[in-house]
Amino acid sequence: MTRLHTQLFGAAALSLALAGVMPMTSAYAAPSGTVAFLMPDQASTRYEQHDFPGFKAEMGKLCPDCKVLYQNANADASQQQQQFNSVIAQGAKVIVLDPVDSTAAASLVHMAQSQGIKVIAYDRPVPSTPATTTSRSTTRKSAGRLRSRSCST
């Protein structure tokens, strides 16, 4: 994962935090809260070796008081559902999700949204969830467009 991509996802999560997702104690306080990063499998070494370490490092810079949770579903949609529910129980207010099964993930996203939890679909879109922020990170042009949108909220 390139530095541009880690900044993109850190900025997206932080923009959600600044939009009121994560509590702030005063007008000048740093955002804090819990952000979850849920990946689909370990077969692609990029998640373990690049994506999560990059995301965590960027979140550490942008939101040092935020707690970052990480789970990897080992290509098991049922396991990812359990992990999704677990991070909600642990207080996640933002979930970055690369779903094992995009269609099955739609019900998880709807459930999270009904509780006021923001979900960022990472790499794969989640159908029937128009309020989900989707980021595919396939080109610099699309990454730049998403970065500018996240900064304008």
Q: What does the pLDDT profile of the chain (153 residues) look like in tens digits? A: 565 565 555 555 554 554 454 444 555 566 778 999 999 998 888 888 888 888 888 888 888 888 999 999 999 999 999 999 999 999 999 999 999 999 999 999 999 999 999 888 888 888 887 656 655 545 545 555 555 555 544
119 inside domain? yes
Domain that holds residue 109: 31-152
| 4 domain-assigned | no
Q: What pTM did the predictor assign?
A: 0.74
We report the CATH number of the domain holding residue 63 as 3.40.50.2300
Confirm whether 20 is domain-assigned.
no
Any domain includes 18: no
Task: Kindly tell me the sign of the dihedral angle through the C-alpha atoms of 119, 123, 129, 130.
Answer: positive
Domain count of the fold of the chain: 1
In whole angstroms, what is the distance from residue 114 CA to residue 108 CA? 10
